[in-house]
Chains A and B, each alone.
Chain A
């Protein structure tokens, strides 16, 4: 648990052995608009450094939350881990092998669910399982679907289409779909960001329950301090962009299984929460100030 290397310190290879996911000196630059034509039309723009030199080691069966002010490149980092975005500099290793593209070893839960509207709940999950395991027998596929629908508590909704479900139920389908392919790592991009507060709390409890059952490695992006404290083992706090970095990595030492009533009484809770709040307020204030000055 002490392998959380901070910026600039390149992790030693032996350290990488025990970790499942190694993020090493990763930089992401979005190229600006250049070229003669753009220059003539006055539409050139500078390169945008979203993330600069981020390093982090994630051990198996850890729940990691990434928290930071808006626009700090959290989603960019997750996109690179998912393999949906090319990495500009550095490398990300999954079990020692560099990530070069998307793959079913990483399951993704999207902020706006990303369910196919024309597929039923069953068909959405089936699409994922059939894509990843084309040779699986129909019987086995049905079993996987049933298990995961039960896991997220959606029995009875199998034949419904997403537009007939509430936001919370849709995200359950999203989670079931991501888990059904049995990924090594679950990536969640603000999974509850589009939900109302009550549904959000309810789904957080569900995630905690599911995590206790499966103990998969999870990387979750969030804006919510309480959410991060309730769910994670480690909380990665990022600085504001551009050129966002890791500011600090906190350990959340609360015993599991957790619930929101008992966790607040833990002696470390208040201090951790205060620290995260001050970090987030400081960064957010700086972002706002920069915006007022006009970049």
Chain B
């Protein structure tokens, strides 16, 4: 008894941590420290002219950032639009293109995944088109649609269709055989098996595909908008033409932030459909 007590105490002691020193807090302090050093180095570097000419200081950039987020919605014509409007324009294009792509990719992925023949037959298209840079579609989109707004949506559509399609087909084709055996031994119809077993079983894969697609859509919209006018991408392009670097940095930060939010949304959704499965 005495021995066991002694051992417990010996083990328990190093485990006792102050609330300021547990892993998360230490990571947070390190984050703050590195951020401070980064901002300080930036500020001093810019002031002493260490960087390229015209490079703004950290304080100037933060000041601009504060101004833009406190004045998000103003409209003085297409070349002087609040960042909030630009953000909404970009989000709207992404939403339309992405939802259309998902509406095509998920059902098509399920069809392709269910039939091994279809899987093999359509795989060449997918594999060939998947690695094509979305911007390569831009001239084609402009030529066919003759409208920059629709072309933006088209680019998002074509670039966010593949990850969802591939992941859905993969998930459906690789449903655990035990689940199918269960449905089979019960004599479930093909339709019931698909709706009640195959789709729910493939849902984690489908959501992962949707998450990757969303990431790509958000990457692509900025690049596409530089060539199309309005939206966050155009905002950056416009500020480049104005040669005003602080606003470009502000836009980069906002793009990153929104991308992070969208991704967390899908991460939460992934967790929601996982039910203890880790994929």
State the A residues within 8 Å of B (CB): 82-84, 102-104, 106-108, 110, 112, 114, 116-119, 127-128, 131-132, 161-164, 181
Partner of A82, one of B185, B201, B277: B185
For A162, the chain B residues whose CB sits under 8 A away are 275-276
For residue B146, CB closer than 8 A to chain A, the reply is no
Q: Which residue on B lies nearest to A187, using beta carbons? A: B185
For residue B103, CB closer than 8 A to chain A, the reply is no
B181 A116 Cβ-Cβ under 8 A: no
Q: Considering the complex of A and B, which 7 residue pairs feature the smallest CB-CB distances, nearest first? A: A163-B276, A114-B178, A117-B275, A131-B186, A102-B184, A102-B185, A118-B200
For A116, the chain B residues whose CB sits under 8 A away are 179, 182, 197, 200-201
State the B residues within 8 Å of A (CB): 176, 178-179, 181-188, 192, 196-197, 200-201, 203, 273, 275-277
B201 A108 Cβ-Cβ under 8 A: no
A-B contact count (CB 8 A): 64
A108-B275 contact, Cβ under 8 Å, with A116-B179, A116-B200: no
Task: Using A84-B185, A114-B176, A118-B200 as known contacts, list a sample of 15 further A-B pairs with CB atoms less than 8 Å apart, ordered by residue number in A.
Answer: A82-B181, A83-B185, A84-B181, A84-B184, A104-B185, A106-B185, A110-B182, A112-B178, A114-B182, A116-B201, A118-B273, A131-B188, A131-B192, A163-B276, A164-B276
Q: Which of B178, B183, B184, B185 has the most CB of A within 10 A?
A: B185
* Nearest CB of B to A69, in Å: 24
A102-B197 contact, Cβ under 8 Å, with A110-B178, A114-B181, A116-B179: no
Taken together as a complex, chains A and B put the C-alpha atoms of A98 and B275 apart, in Å, by: 40
For B186, the chain A residues whose CB sits under 8 A away are 102, 104, 127-128, 131-132, 181
Q: Which residue on B lies nearest to A178, using beta carbons? A: B185
For A161, the chain B residues whose CB sits under 8 A away are 275-276
* Nearest CB of B to A92, in Å: 15
Taken together as a complex, chains A and B put the C-alpha atoms of A127 and B183 apart, in Å, by: 9
A118-B203 contact, Cβ under 8 Å, with A110-B181, A131-B192, A163-B275: yes
B201 A107 Cβ-Cβ under 8 A: no
B182 A108 Cβ-Cβ under 8 A: yes
Q: Which residue on B lies nearest to A128, using beta carbons? A: B186
A114 B179 Cβ-Cβ under 8 A: yes
Taken together as a complex, chains A and B put the C-alpha atoms of A106 and B186 apart, in Å, by: 8
Q: Which of A107, A119, A127 has the most CB of B within 10 A?
A: A127
Taken together as a complex, chains A and B put the C-alpha atoms of A289 and B185 apart, in Å, by: 37
A-B contact pairs, 9 of them (CB 8 A): A102-B184, A104-B185, A110-B182, A112-B178, A116-B200, A128-B186, A131-B188, A163-B275, A163-B276
